[in-house]
Copies of this chain bind each other. A is one copy, B any other.
């Protein structure tokens, strides 16, 4: 492990001069600059980043909090973020909260102890009041999820709209008994439900609590929901699932039980993942242009870190689009 001292010694110059060369400061003569660079290459010198940070250099790291990376939505989101970050010389620290508020909050130590320049919250189990104290240690923004009280930038979608267009589509197809699934009570879910309720209420339909399900996340959960409704006397004829995984599981299980899709059960997914065009029938879903969201969020984060943008309460809304296929 060579240090700046070794380089200085080898080049016959002072540490200060070497540091100036490293940081591209003005006022270093060309010949000394060459000498320093030569010495650095010969020793294979790389600055110790901890020492640099101690002098208030940026960490060039951003943490992203998500519930779980195995969810394809988050994979894609993180992929887009990483790509953008890498382009600017930043690294991504992956933090899976697994929907635990404690774990989520723990990760803010990364900010406090100066291990990251900022945190992108794509999971939000904690109230803004719990998060706010940490904002003095670095940049915090929301992505996809958010808390209405937050005083920072929120890159997200109009999920009310998302819930609305999905449900409206089923209504337009003539359905009156429309089921609804969501994950946990996140901002995304709360808003989608608003949209769902708005659509059916507009159509003069009374919401049926028996057709509304919570904590539904996976393919397997989708299968379970189907098995549940199959036992009902008066099951829904259509479902807004809020997730392509759930839609996939529901459709598959329905078929295995001899139900036809969409004739016996129409299903709308969410996210337009590859699975949506691979199953038979290919299914209707809502494209939320996940990569765009991730890219935009990281772009905003980097702009704020580099003082090119102010981090104020602001919603940056990205588009949604219904894609009609054969499941509805």
Interface residues in chain A, defined as those with a beta carbon under 8 Å from any beta carbon in chain B: 1, 46-51, 53-54, 59, 61, 68-70, 72, 75-76, 78-79, 82-83, 86, 91-96, 103, 109-110, 112-115, 137, 219, 245, 248-249, 252, 255, 274-275, 277-280
Q: Is the CB of A46 within 8 A of B113?
A: yes
Of A93, A109, A278, A279, most buried by chain B (CB within 10 Å of CB) is: A278
Residues of B within 8 A of A278 (CB): 219, 248-249, 252, 275, 278-279
Q: Is the CB of B279 within 8 A of A109?
A: no
Binding site secondary structure of chain A: helix
State the number of copies, please.
2
Q: 11 more A-B contacts (CB under 8 A) besides A50-B54, A94-B94? A: A48-B114, A50-B53, A61-B93, A70-B79, A72-B72, A86-B96, A91-B94, A92-B93, A245-B274, A255-B280, A274-B275
Query: 9 closest A-B pairs (Cβ-Cβ)?
Result: A50-B53, A46-B112, A49-B113, A94-B94, A50-B50, A70-B79, A75-B75, A50-B54, A70-B75
CB-based nearest B residue for A252: B278
Residues of B within 8 A of A280 (CB): 255, 279-280
Q: How far is the CA of A94 from the CA of B274 in the complex (A)?
A: 23
